Structure 1
């Protein structure tokens, strides 16, 4: 009975109109844990929270001085103030640019116009539906949104004699904007997921099959006239079928007919190599139909992906397998987030702020005393999240207090060592021999832990042995060392007193190469 009473109490809070979203999120998380007798980890200590929230909202580490000041601050509202300050800082737009570039482009390529578009949009807190519409519309004539066209233009490139992979483009739109992977439905209904039909793929494909890349340099996406339905047949039944453009589970668009020669709002121009603009644009239709408040798949997909980015696992996981047989860990919470996010006009900064303030986000990554292992299904213990290559680089430079010029020399190397292969989502921690060898042997990385004016090792060299461990751990791991760790540092320094700067460098390198440094926990 006591457990039932606790569940009913938190569920009552979850349904109270007066409760803010943060409290309702925590109520639903705690209700599920209580119902299944899953113990919750305690709140993260101040060092763990500060490291996590700074990496998540600024893409880097706090300095040792910032860490010491935060740990010493006795203000009960210091976490709330830190979240607000990070959301308001210019580094927020830089971090979101990195986060969404990795999520949306999946290492397919880079574009300065795309980066500039993302950075400007996040700095202005542009609504997510507006950003998605810009990406899907790909208007090369609008200088304010030109960079957004990179999402489509890069996927319309062809390599050698290979044709443009319109099927992969269709799949990516379904995965990244609707949370549904229809890859296996191009030729037949999905063999495992009953909800996914061949019609879903082909209806979505009908929006994008007539696109072409006019100019990669100008991010110019062209569109041929769509005058008739798309024909297809299952490889199993061989029954001929047709479809007009249609969202999964939605009705088909009516394809208008025009007299010959009057199909274009802007006719093709051979002199400029312009393919023209059709009066009936399936691209424009997709840009209006997909990113809208009434499209439940669109809202559920993005809040699930943002939840994953900050909590380490999606409410629905894998992120692109939303269907009735995979409702996720907390279906009520997913629906709540989708509803509230749409009501807030797709305000990403608001959503991120709400998540960062939850007890679920601020929970420790250490197991509760009564648990032998953590089950990420419940979000009762903070899930360790991999850092992107840019986060790792920025954190490494911040920890070592390196010269800013080092970033230019190391950026390409970090991406080569830590990036996944194209179209391989970076949603799991994936240690590799390539990355280990890079950290172990790369001369530019090793140079960061050599004494130089103003860097970490040089600053540590000026401290007495007893003070080194505290400063080193705060700078690299945003926490103070345990007694055993502090003792080990002193023993290493005493043993290598004749080569103290080199020993300090090896100690700093050991922390930088650790699993603790490589994940956001």
Structure 2
């Protein structure tokens, strides 16, 4: 990158900091800075916001958000009776350290990344176990994304991570669209054939720049094992023509407006494994392997913005940008100063999602009652003066029903293996030996709710 480009980036960053600077103490925590940013410029803000949620409401909210279920009645009574000044902080930390937190995040990110598509090449159980272990280990977001985009499905240990690509059949068009939506917060589907007619920021070269990372890759089925994996060719360029203007273009791999990544000079043989019948070809230089580094690059602000916006929506009830996959200049964040704080905090902690979720949970904003003051004039939900009501996910509803009826992990140990009867056409749902497992019971219960 040229010196001029670096100077331009530094100048732009300095302007952002100057414009969105929030007058907070240098020693303040991220959650304190977030609260200060939301109230900045409005001396009446603190008088207009809702009161803090009572202890029972807070406990229900945080338990649902961090573990996916309501707390037990015993837990609520104990929490309300606890007079410790820091009991909310302690409860947040306890929940984040629990295996139930990993289970909750497993389902949140499964839904986000796979969008409830049916299984094709990687069983959902393997994929969910992979996600759960990742959150138990508190693997950082950039590391997780890099693995999902680089594994090829040949190693059984890492094969579950390949579900994102394999279960989309590695169709370059579908993967390109989903990469842009789920990792960059931009729905570029319309830009496949032309610049977006309504969003000036979404260009055809943006779509095809991402597509160029994947256009040489293909789904390979081993004739012996019948398992699928990812193969790749060493050649193939991306060219495109606008269906509106007939203007032609071509691009090397690139992420949005970041520089193109040219292929290196390969002096001799371009393949590690040459293409042949029933052989998975492997090139010396893989464009697909460049994708993970390019997506997660610190220069790619869209990657950072997208994940903090999705976590903000998870905890607060709506994104700083809505819809979550429609980031563009005509749809700016409602609170750019908060966005800047979140992305800076996430970068400082090397994409530690648990850290960011904890800071969001500690804000006064998150802990506010959902009851607006009677004299409050504003009804704009983007001002976060009240806690926003959030619908339960199917998993939260199922787990909460189990909790409310007493059918939880603590009672499963005393149950004998049984069979839950369903519609005769569907047949039996669960035949667990020697005891029910919580996952099986959850799935069975949810099917019976239908």
**Does 2:286 match 1:247?**
no
Q: Give me the whole-angstrom Cα distance separating, in 1, the residues matched to 2:445 and 2:149.
A: 32
Cα drift, residue 244 of structure 1 = 1.1
Aligned position for 2:219: 213
Q: Deviations over 1:416-469 (max 9, x none)?
A: xxxxxxxxxxxxxxxxxxxxxx85xx6xxxxxxxxxxxxxxxxxxxxxxxxxxx
Alignment partner, residue 472 of structure 1:
none
State the structure with more CA Rg. 1
| The one of 308, 321, 324 aligned to 1:319 | 324
Residue 253 (structure 2) pairs with residue 238 (structure 1): no
State whether structure 2 residue 90 is matched by structure 1 residue 81: yes
Q: Is the partner of 2:231 in helix, strand or coil?
A: strand
In 1: Cα distance, 2:281 partner to 2:229 partner = 11
1:209 to partner: Cα distance: 2.2
Structure 1 gaps of 5+ residues are: 1-10, 158-163, 416-437, 443-521
TM-score when scaled to structure 1?
0.71
Matched residue SS, 1:346: coil
Q: For residue 132 of structure 2, what is the aligned residue in structure 1?
A: 119
Equivalent residue number for residue 71 of structure 2: 62
Superposed displacement of residue 386, structure 1? 2.0
Tell me by how many angstroms 1:259 deviates. 6.4
| Structure 2 Cα separation of the partners of residues 268 and 104 of structure 1 | 31
The separation in 2 between residues aligned to 1:398 and 1:102, in whole angstroms, is: 22
2:61 to 47, 52, 62: 52
Are residues 36 and 22 of structure 1, via their aligned partners in 2, closer, same or farther at CA, if it must alter by over 3 Å? closer
Select 1:292's aligned residue among 290, 293, 297: 297
Gap change, CA 1:282 and 1:346, over 3 Å in 2: same
Aligned mates of 2:229, 2:350 — CA distance in 1: 29
**CA distance in structure 2 between the aligned counterparts of 1:138 and 1:37, rounded to whole angstroms:** 49
Shift in Å, 1:295: 1.5
C-alpha distance in structure 1 between counterparts of 2:21 and 2:325, whole Å: 31
For the residue of structure 2 that corresponds to 1:386, the secondary structure is: coil
Say which SS state the counterpart of residue 213 (structure 1) adopts: strand
Query: Is the partner of 1:377 in helix, strand or coil?
Result: helix
- Within the candidate set 267, 272, 277, 1:265 is matched to 272
1:36: how far off? 8.1
Q: Using the alignment, how far apart are the partners of 1:236 and 1:414 within structure 2?
A: 48
Cα distance, 1:139 vs structure 2? 3.4
What residue in structure 2 maps to residue 506 of structure 1?
none
Deviation by residue 1:380-434 (Cα, 9 ceiling, x = unmatched): 111112222111111110011126448635626637xxxxxxxxxxxxxxxxxxx
Name the SS of the counterpart of 2:199 in structure 1.
Answer: coil
SS in structure 2 at match of 1:107: coil
Q: Distance in 2 between matches of 1:400 and 1:300?
A: 40
Aligned to 1:423: none
RMSD: 2.4
Q: Which runs of 5+ in 2 are unaligned?
A: 1-19, 413-435
Question: Does 2:411 match 1:386?
Answer: no
1:103-118 residue pairs with structure 2 within 5 A? 103-110=112-119, 111-118=124-131
Q: Determine which of 16, 30, 40 is the counterpart of 1:21.
A: 30
How has the CA–CA distance of structure 1 residues 142 and 249 changed in structure 2, closer, same or farther, with 3 Å as cutoff?
same
Which SS does the other structure have where 1:222 is aligned? strand
SS at match of 2:256: coil
1:23 and 1:36, CA in 2 relative to 1: closer, same or farther beyond 3 A?
closer
- Tell me which residue corresponds to 1:202: 208
Counterparts in 2 of 1:412 and 1:108: CA distance versus 1, 3 Å: farther
1:15 offset after TM fit, Å? Answer: 4.2
1:97 aligns with 2:106: yes
Deviation at 1:62, TM superposition (A): 1.0
Matched residue SS, 1:364: coil
TM-score by length of 2: 0.82
CA distance in 1, matches of 2:22, 2:264: 51
- Look up the SS of the partner of 1:16 in the other structure: coil
Aligned-pair distance for 1:249?
0.7
Q: Which residue of 2 aligns with 1:408?
A: 440
Structure 1: how far apart are the matches of 2:336 and 2:378? 24
Pick one of 167, 178, 182 that aligns with 1:176.
182
1:122-201, aligned counterparts within 5 Å?
Answer: 122-156=135-169, 164=171, 166-201=172-207
